[in-house]
Amino acid sequence: MHLFDFPDRLSPMLVKELRQGMRTKAFVGVFLALQIILGVILLSAGAAASSDDAGSTISNIIFIFFSIAVLIIQPMRGITSLSSEVKGNTIDMMVLTRLSAWRIVTGKWASIVSQSALLLVTIIPYLILRYFFGGMNLIGEIVFLAVLFLSSAALTAVTVGLSASSSVILRSVLPMIALPIGAYSLLMALMFGAFGGGSMSTFFSLATDESRIFTSVYLAACTYYGFFMLSTGTSLIAPYAENHSTLRRLISLAVAITAAVLGSMSFTDADALPFFMTVVLLPVFAISLSEFAPLAAPTYRKFAKHGAPGQLAGLFLFPGWASGFFFCLVLTAIAAVPFLVNRPSYGGNDSFIYGLACLAGLLFPAVIINLFRVNGPQRVSNYVLLLLASIVLSTVLSGITSSLSNEDLLWLFCWLPPVLMFLEEAGGNSDEVLVASFVMCAIYIGTLLLRAVHSYRKSIIEIRAHSDTE
Amino acid sequence: MSNSAITVHNLYRFFGPLQAVNGVSFEIPHGSVCGFVGANGAGKTTTMRILASLDYPTMGHAEICGINVTHHPAEVRRLIGWMPDHFGNYDNMTVLEYLDFYARALGYKGAERRQRIDEVMDFTDLVPLADRFSNKLSKGMTQRLCLGRSLLHDPQVLIMDEPAAGLDPKARVELKHLIRVLAKEGKTIFISSHILSELGEMCDSLLFINNGRIVHHGDSESLKKSTDILGGVLYDVQLDGDPQALSDWAVLQPNIEFLESRKNGGRIRIDTEDPNKAADVLARMVKDNLRVVDFHREQRNLEDAFIDILANLEKNQPAFATPPPLPSQASLLPQEPPYDP
């Protein structure tokens, strides 16, 4: 076998991206800067060797610089990964090879993650040297490094997935704001001690049930969100006839069922459950309710050949926002289960108001983009921006209301779903807020239902007309 | 195997209210070179993208070598080579690495991959550029690289969208030469271009498309004849002196039409093929003090044919082909803009 044939065993996309990526100034700069900084730190640490906490201080500094590299700089390199291919019209040329859209996206992602792994490998010698300064929590630091690395992989999946969007705000501005804020929060937790006052490495030592459960759930969440964002990016660059929505929705369905089971068993806190379910369902709602993929004949045929059951499944699993809405109704029903199971233990209306407000909050942007047909091609970004705008506007209204000590203003804006939560928090009449939440949900669901039925019927008629002409 | 390399039947592609492709039907036999001509926005690129399985028809169907492009896109992709009208090159990647990537992506491994790359680099004369970064190449070199990429899997059908656009004359000649060689090897080539004279030289047949409809399909000679509704003969006239004098003179003459200005004169049409009449016209020019230094007959070219076709269409006189009627199902079609993430 030829020496240069080793890369034959790897994905062509990974080989290409590594060839390009390892030559970029961003990677070379980060690599060299990290080595120089860590080298200087270890040399200067010799002076502090007598200090009892010199070892943990060195660990923290290493983790901080490593975090900046893998949680901010490396994921940010994903911002242009697919958009540059789309702009350069090279996606088409790749799609015409044996590379599927999924392999293109995952190849891009794997390349950046591989380079992050290379950075991870290069800090290991420093951590070994740091061992001699004492006070090392070996398991905690290894698990924490793994958590940082997986977080980096998930964040990279987010930026790579979003980079296929035509919206500059969604693919660039939001990640550039969100990544530093997220990483800063994590670093603050690292520096000042979080999770009960202990350090991160202590927390991640897996010594307690809380540590083990949190770490497991966190890793599962990173995997799910990472997959979801890569799948979304795949949908955005794939040819029309390829259907990536169905698998994504089926996996989201499994995750929603798992979350509902966990929620039914473990959430005794009435306020936490709605937010837990919202965090789980937010990505699938955002994509399903704004998906603009047309229904292509090959996709339709795959469902139609199974007769009535296939057609029924297609109602929820065809690409496009109309079937996405029906699918979201199913997810809503699943998410309602833990509320109903735990109802006896929840005293007031809080959890139901929060639950309904969260549901209405997820539906509200979809109602706006469907009623006003805001920029068809940029529906996903419009959905996300409207969602953020509704939260920001509601927060501002809440601040104004609290300074005026008068909640009437909030009632004027009760059609903005987050306002319903602020109304509840402001001590409004709980029954009235509950009724308002029900009414808003009913209006939004009804509006979307009418539009979705119309859109779905039109797409089915269209696809049958197309089949007739062949 | 189908008799035709490319078959398109009643193809429609709508983007909301825009009917980009509007009932297009044609066939291109194996081993032929077909030019695809139309103004910007006429539907050329959309039709080619559907044939390349990159877009999806609203209605109708298209086949490559008898394989339906929408039903079996993966099979079709093995049969076609695609050159888009514009594309970017990769940063930090050499010409050799560029071809190596696509060869890997096409499934070639080891020695077979290296052999394919060598063959393609040799054919497209890219060997001296092997270590150059692909984003530092000239437009002509980039087109050769793109052609090399599209030939890596030895496709039966080449679909080339405006491959000569933006090329300097030398690069155009090189590209034309490569296309001729490929045609001799028996590949079916479907090529769009605005440079009609070059298409005429290269192509066995020409397809004219306007507003999403095919308005002519035939070889270049039949095209020139069939579109020559006005008849007559074209002459190039060169003057010693003010070239404007020719147009001023022609306006006053019966049976003579001034077609276009040229550097030292212009191009006229005399409405008869009788050479004596041409001699009379020349004599009148001299008599009217036009200092004629050159007066020679010109062949009707493809630009003339194309302009005549468009002029006829503007007059709502589709003389060459009647496009198929819009199916009744069209009323059911979506009015949404295309999916563009």
- Confidence at residue A145, expressed as pLDDT on a 0 to 100 scale: 87
Rounded to the nearest angstrom, the minimum Cα separation between B33 and chain A is 22
Contact with chain B for residue A287, Cβ under 8 A: no
Tell if the CB–CB gap between B70 and A23 is shorter than 8 Å. Answer: no
- Confidence at residue B101, expressed as pLDDT on a 0 to 100 scale: 93
Q: Is the pLDDT of residue B337 over 50?
A: no
CB A380 within 8 A of CB A286: yes
Q: How many CB atoms lie within 10 A of CB A122?
A: 14
Report residue A333's pLDDT band, with 50, 70 and 90 as the boundaries. Answer: very high
Report residue A184's pLDDT band, with 50, 70 and 90 as the boundaries. Answer: confident
Residues from chain B contacting residue A95 (CB–CB below 8 Å) = 54
Contact with chain B for residue A9, Cβ under 8 A: no
Instruction: Tell me which of A28, A92, A97, A171 to substitute to probe the interface with B (most B C-beta atoms closer than 10 Å).
Output: A97
Average pLDDT for B149-155: 94
Average pLDDT for B148-155: 94
Residues from chain B contacting residue A237 (CB–CB below 8 Å) = 341
Q: pLDDT tens digits, residue range A351-406?
A: 788 889 999 999 999 999 888 865 555 788 888 889 989 999 999 988 888 887 77
Average pLDDT for B166-176: 83
Tell if the CB–CB gap between B70 and A241 is shorter than 8 Å. Answer: yes
**Percentage of residues in chain B having pLDDT higher than 90:** 32
- Confidence at residue A378, expressed as pLDDT on a 0 to 100 scale: 75
In 3D, which of B325, B235, B282 has the Cα closest to residue A469? B325
Q: How far apart, in whole angstroms, are the C-alpha atoms of residue A110 and residue B9?
A: 42
Q: How far apart, in whole angstroms, are the C-alpha atoms of residue A228 and residue B87?
A: 29
- Confidence at residue B77, expressed as pLDDT on a 0 to 100 scale: 92
**Percentage of residues in chain A having pLDDT higher than 90:** 24
Q: How many CB pairs under 8 A join A and B?
A: 141
- Confidence at residue A198, expressed as pLDDT on a 0 to 100 scale: 58
Average pLDDT for A39-43: 80
Nearest to A469 among B60, B80, B101 (CB): B60
The torsion of the CA quartet A139, A140, A146, A151, rounded to 10 degrees, works out to 170
Tell if the CB–CB gap between A97 and B80 is shorter than 8 Å. Answer: no
Q: Is the pLDDT of residue A312 over 70?
A: yes
Report in angstroms the alpha-carbon separations of A77 from A26, A121, A309.
8, 19, 44
Q: Are strands B33-37 and B205-210 parallel, antiparallel or unpaired?
A: parallel
- Confidence at residue A104, expressed as pLDDT on a 0 to 100 scale: 92
Tell if the CB–CB gap between A466 and B91 is shorter than 8 Å. Answer: no
Q: Are strands B59-64 and B205-210 parallel, antiparallel or unpaired?
A: unpaired
- Confidence at residue B120, expressed as pLDDT on a 0 to 100 scale: 94
Q: How far apart, in whole angstroms, are the C-alpha atoms of residue A234 and residue A160?
A: 10
Is the model more confident about B158 or about A178? Answer: B158
Q: Is the pLDDT of residue B43 over 50?
A: yes
- Confidence at residue A194, expressed as pLDDT on a 0 to 100 scale: 47
Q: Is the pLDDT of residue B338 over 50?
A: no
Q: Is the pLDDT of residue A439 over 90?
A: yes
- Confidence at residue B327, expressed as pLDDT on a 0 to 100 scale: 40
Tell if the CB–CB gap between B92 and A19 is shorter than 8 Å. Answer: yes
Tell if the CB–CB gap between B107 and A380 is shorter than 8 Å. Answer: no
Q: How far apart, in whole angstroms, are the C-alpha atoms of residue B252 and residue B269?
A: 14
Q: pLDDT tens digits, residue range B76-103?
A: 999 999 998 887 788 889 999 999 999 9
Q: pLDDT tens digits, residue range B268-286?
A: 888 887 888 889 899 999 9
CB B96 within 8 A of CB B117: yes
Average pLDDT for A321-345: 88
Q: pLDDT tens digits, residue range A126-154?
A: 888 777 777 777 788 888 888 889 999 99
Q: pLDDT tens digits, residue range A198-240?
A: 567 777 777 788 778 888 888 898 999 999 999 989 988 887 7
Q: Which residue of B has its CA nearest to A23?
A: B92
Contact with chain B for residue A95, Cβ under 8 A: yes
Q: What's the whole-model pTM score? A: 0.79
Q: Which of A22-26, A188-192, A215-219, A363-367 has the lowest mean pLDDT?
A: A188-192
Is the model more confident about B295 or about B329? Answer: B295
Residues from chain B contacting residue A97 (CB–CB below 8 Å) = 77, 102, 105-106
- Confidence at residue B229, expressed as pLDDT on a 0 to 100 scale: 61
Q: pLDDT tens digits, residue range B184-205?
A: 888 999 999 877 777 877 888 8
Report residue B334's pLDDT band, with 50, 70 and 90 as the boundaries. Answer: very low
- Confidence at residue B2, expressed as pLDDT on a 0 to 100 scale: 60
Is the model more confident about A148 or about A270? Answer: A148
Q: Is the pLDDT of residue B19 over 90?
A: no
Nearest to B105 among A7, A23, A98 (CB): A98
Instruction: Tell me which of B101, B113, B150 to substitute to probe the interface with A (most A C-beta atoms closer than 10 Å).
Output: B101
Residues from chain A contacting residue B106 (CB–CB below 8 Å) = 97-98
Report residue B319's pLDDT band, with 50, 70 and 90 as the boundaries. Answer: very low
Q: Which residues pair with B9 in a beta bridge?
A: B61
Contact with chain B for residue A457, Cβ under 8 A: no
Rounded to the nearest angstrom, the minimum Cα separation between B235 and chain A is 45
- Confidence at residue A133, expressed as pLDDT on a 0 to 100 scale: 73
Contact with chain B for residue A467, Cβ under 8 A: no
Q: Are strands B67-68 and B213-218 parallel, antiparallel or unpaired?
A: unpaired
Nearest to B82 among A93, A241, A461 (CB): A93
Q: What ipTM, to 2 d.p.?
A: 0.74
Q: pLDDT tens digits, residue range B208-234?
A: 898 888 888 887 777 766 656 666 788
Q: Is the pLDDT of residue B302 over 80?
A: no
Mean pLDDT of chain A: 83
Collapse the DSSP code of B85 into the 3-class scheme (helix H, G, I; strand E, B; otherwise coil) and give the result.
coil
In 3D, which of A207, A415, A449 has the Cα closest to residue A332? A449
Tell if the CB–CB gap between A294 and B56 is shorter than 8 Å. Answer: yes
